[in-house]
Amino acid sequence: MTGPYRICDDLVVAEYFQDTDRPWLRCVLDEYARFVDRPRRELRRRWSEPLPVPCPPTKRRLVIAYLDRLGRDRTRTFVPPRRIRETVFLARAAHAGPRHVGLETAAGSLGMTPDVAMAFLFADLPEERSVGLLPGALTPTSLIPLANLEVVQFLLRRTVRLTLSVDSQSRTLIRAARLRGLICAVHKSAPFEPAVLSLSGPLAVIRHSTLYGRALAGLARYLPECGRYHLHAKCLIDGQLLIYELRAGEVDFPGLEPRHFDSRLEERFHKDFQRLAPDWDILREPEPVEAGRHLIFPDFLLRHRHDPERQWWLEIVGFWTPQYLEKKLAGLRQAGLRRIILCVDADRACSEEELPRGAELVRFRRRIDVAEVLAVMQA
């Protein structure tokens, strides 16, 4: 495996982008612009050749992969290629004579010349699609922080275990981890100490490791909103278990603005609960609940309007293992917390084992059934 990093003893040191990379980044952007509206295969061939400006190969590959995702390739014909193929093949099959006769007939019915029909016959294949425009505001200077985010995410996708210490705005980061369904525990060693998040990495789960890796990598976008932070990750790279660390201020990369609802799932549950439980108030993001040394960050507090003593906390769980849920439930019982409902995504199990029995768990797929939640609350 090769990437934008170097190995020093038991550490993996990221090769971040700097101002000195701007000359060759400008060259890459110029080359990309030169191939807009040309087949993707021609640009791929160009990337296999050296650039006129020296550049680090691993950084170049990372930037090119990022630009390929950023640009939106398109088909270069007003007639769908699938229709061209169907018309041409049927016409050829219907004419027993020379092949060009069937081709001319098919092209005429499509309003094309035979040469144009043949040129666009497979125009919807990835390598034949036209290279799309990049965002007009993209410059070498604006590309540097975006590329640095790619470096951080590249390493996070290869983690086994990750811990994050956050001095301020920890709620933003915790909410982002919860939104992505990451296997996460939060604790504090003392009342005024930073919150510490412990997360399983994609290489620690059995199933959905690629999907989980993308979810964990997406967490990096929230770090700039968290003030001072310290990221400590154990990464499996080149067959070695290495340490990767990142502290606030070491590298510049873009963040994300928080939204009122972080997901359609939360928004739908909020609306469904208001509609089906008119005597209950639903509060989003209540205060964290202490469970021993750990903190539980419920997504919602459900409180009866006429009897405030009747209240339940509800937490949405994404990726999970039975061991993770058992540990969470044991912590809740140890802290004497009984009125917490865990809504578990049935499609995000990271092992083949079943859910723990006898717990206040609601299994869901895509949408949480409010009726099941109410049944737990009224049992």
Q: What is the 3-state secondary structure (H, E, C) of the chain?
A: CCCCEEEECCEEEECCCCHHHHHHHHHHHHHHHHCCCCEHHHHHHHHCCCCCCCCCHHHHHHHHHHHHHHCCCECCCCCCHHHHHHHHHHHHHHCCCCHHHHHHHHHHHCCCCHHHHHHCCCCCCCCCCECCCCCCCCCHHHHHHHHHHHHHHHHHCCEEEEEEEECCCHHHHHHHHHHCCCCEEEECCCCCCCEEEEEECHHHCCCCHHHHHHHHHHHHHHHHHHCCEEEEEEEEECCEEEEEEEECCCCCCCCCCCCCCCCHHHHHHHHHHHHHCCCEEEEECCCCEEECCEEECCCEEEEECCCCCCEEEEEEECCECHHHHHHHHHHHHHCCCCCEEEEEEHHHECCCCCCCCCCCEEEEECECCHHHHHHHHHC
Residue 147's pLDDT is what?
93
Report the half-sphere exposure of 39 (CA within 13 A, side-chain side): 12
Tokens for 75, please give them.
Answer: 């088909």
**What is this structure's pTM?**
0.66
d(CA 174, CA 224): 14
- For the chain, which residues make up each domain, given as ranges? 5-74+128-144, 81-119, 157-247, 264-378
Residue 353's pLDDT is what?
64
* Tens of pLDDT, residues 202-235: 777 767 678 888 888 888 888 887 778 889 999 9
**Above 70 in pLDDT, residue 354?**
no
Residue 28's pLDDT is what?
94
Q: Is it true that 157-247 and 264-378 share their CATH fold?
A: no
**Above 70 in pLDDT, residue 84?**
yes
> What pLDDT band is residue 261 in, cutting at 50, 70 and 90?
low
d(CA 142, CA 76): 30
* Tokens 């963040």, located at residue: 255
Residue 297's pLDDT is what?
74
Residue 123's pLDDT is what?
67
Q: At residue 208, what is the residue type?
A: H
Find the angle CA(5)-CA(234)-CA(345) to the nearest 5 degrees.
115
Q: Kindly report the number of other CB atoms within 10 A of residue 216's CB atom.
A: 26
- State the average pLDDT for the chain: 81
> What pLDDT band is residue 144 in, cutting at 50, 70 and 90?
very high
When mean pLDDT is compared across 101-105, 158-162, 178-182, the lowest value belongs to: 101-105
> What pLDDT band is residue 189 in, cutting at 50, 70 and 90?
low
* Tens of pLDDT, residues 271-285: 999 999 889 998 887
**Above 60 in pLDDT, residue 122?**
yes
Please check whether residue 255 is in contact with residue 225, taking contact to mean a CB–CB distance below 8 angstroms.
Answer: yes
d(CA 241, CA 233): 10
Contacts of residue 371, defined as CB under 8 A and 6 or more positions apart, other chains included, come to 276
Across residues 247-275, what is the average pLDDT?
A: 79
For residues 350 and 45, which has the higher predicted lDDT (pLDDT)? 45
> What pLDDT band is residue 62 in, cutting at 50, 70 and 90?
very high
- Tell me how far CA of residue 319 lies from CA of 182, 266, 363, in angstroms: 5, 16, 12
- Greatest Cα-to-Cα distance within the chain, rounded to the nearest angstrom: 87
Q: Which CATH class is domain 157-247?
A: alpha beta
Contacts of residue 111, defined as CB under 8 A and 6 or more positions apart, other chains included, come to 79
Q: 264-378: what fold?
A: Trna Endonuclease; Chain: A, domain 1 (3.40.1350)
**Above 60 in pLDDT, residue 192?**
no
**Above 90 in pLDDT, residue 365?**
no
Residue 3's pLDDT is what?
81
d(CA 330, CA 333): 5
Across residues 360-379, what is the average pLDDT?
A: 86
Residue 190's pLDDT is what?
59
Residue 338's pLDDT is what?
72
